[in-house]
Structure 1
Amino acid sequence: MIDTTAEGIVVIIRDRTVFQLLAWNFWLDEDTRDSIRLVVSELVTNAIVHGRSTYRAPIIEIGIIARRGEVYIEVSDPSDEMPVVRPIDDEREGGRGLLLVECMALKWGAERLPHGGKRVWTLLRIPPRPSALRRHRPDREARQRHRAQLQAQLYANWPLTPIDSRPLAMAT
């Protein structure tokens, strides 16, 4: 069963973000995974808390763009209230999320959307894959030889003559 509470949604989105980067074959050490989870948690939590209307939960959108060395993450919500980094107050329980984002990000910012609402974005560093873990990339001729070997194996068991070699009739 999926946890549909605000906390459950935040956990799903932050873990899905890390999973997506891994699926795109980005190497993430444990510290980077934790940083991404923390930043996504803060941005999504803020979108849920501040994007909420009186009648329903907010519709939030998450975008991820990754390239070598960095990942851009954006979270949009329907609220026009722009985020503010507040000074640390020992009396207040919350309000430190954007301060954490500011400390962990290369850059971050917020902008109003033309149709209403806002987008809060952050740019995080992704460390390069250690050289010991880099995949060996054979040269072009070796790849072509390997492809030819695979095709030969594939077609070795292929029927010598097709069942019907006539071209398909075109529908008119």
Structure 2
Amino acid sequence: MRRQTAPYQTRQVRFVDQLSLVAAESAVSTSRHFLRLALSKWQAALIEDDVLLVASELVTNAVTVTGVLPKPPAWDELERLGLVHVRLVGLSDSVVVEVWDVSDEPPRLQRVGDDAEGGRGLLLVQELATRWGSYRTTGGKAVWAQVAVRPPLPRRSPRGERLGGAAVAPPGPDAALLRRIRAGLDTAL
């Protein structure tokens, strides 16, 4: 365990989005959709891939320790379902992914052989996050990972000269050119 509290408690928080999920196999993909939308909404898409990969590992671990729901629950079982909570916190230079589960056991890095099919999740989190850790909560723990917002790549001229500023996406298709091509195809047919 690396830290006892969340890393944003002493920093300026720009945004927060949170989702609670039943500990089911679908929780990982659902959390990815949720985080993709949140990152898009907060214009943090530059780090989407890293955040989604980190979150997938953390949610997978949380669902595993909470216990995967074996079958659809009956109405009277709904209040006793194991939940996993996912929170995305935006800071000025990074985002923090926090995942709560019912286990009070801290996460542990595992050293696994090349042939192992699993056990590398936290190693991946450690590589992608600037820092990560966990802390105990009432009824379980939260595991968090902070992912730095990378600055956009510098723009370059066609000759490779640095222009400064953010990289600009290549221009979209020329609408007038596409209309002329379509008109030419229509007359040819």
| CA–CA separation in structure 2 for the residues paired with 1:58 and 1:41 | 18
Aligned to 1:149: none
Amino acid at match of 2:90: A
Return the structure number with greater strand share.
2
Query: Which of these residues, 45, 51, 57, is aligned with residue 36 of structure 1?
Result: 51
| Contact kept? 1:50, 1:81, Cα under 8 Å | no
* 2:31 is equivalent to residue 16 of structure 1: no
* 2:145 is equivalent to residue 127 of structure 1: no
Structure 1 residue 92 displacement after superposition? 2.7
Structure 1 residue 15 displacement after superposition? 2.4
Structure-1-length-normalised TM-score? 0.64
Structure 1 residue 53 displacement after superposition? 7.9
Equivalent residues, number? 127
Structure 1 residue 5 displacement after superposition? 8.7
Q: Write the mapping of 1:106-145 to structure 2, written as runs, cut at 5 A.
A: 106-113=130-137, 115-128=138-151, 131-132=165-166
Structure 1 residue 88 displacement after superposition? 2.3
- Identical positions, percent: 36
Classify 1:132/1:90 alpha carbon distance in 2 versus 1 (closer, same or farther; 3 Å). closer
- SS, match of residue 60 in structure 1: strand
**Quick one: higher RCO (CA 8 Å, sep 6+), 1 or 2?**
2
Amino acid at match of 2:54: V
| Contact kept? 2:57, 2:122, Cα under 8 Å | yes
Structure-2-length-normalised TM-score? 0.59
- SS, match of residue 88 in structure 1: coil
The CA RMSD measured in Å over matched residues stands at: 2.6
Structure 1 residue 133 displacement after superposition? 7.0
In structure 2, stretches of 5+ residues that fail to align are 1-21, 71-79, 154-164, 169-189
* 2:103 is equivalent to residue 88 of structure 1: no
Structure 1 residue 36 displacement after superposition? 1.0
Query: Which of these residues, 123, 126, 145, is aligned with residue 102 of structure 1?
Result: 126
In structure 1, stretches of 5+ residues that fail to align are 135-172
Classify 1:53/1:112 alpha carbon distance in 2 versus 1 (closer, same or farther; 3 Å). farther
| Contact kept? 1:80, 1:117, Cα under 8 Å | yes
Structure 1 residue 37 displacement after superposition? 1.0
Structure showing greater radius of gyration is 1
Return the structure number with greater helix share.
1
Moved over 3 A (4+): 4-7, 53-57, 128-134
Amino acid at match of 2:67: R
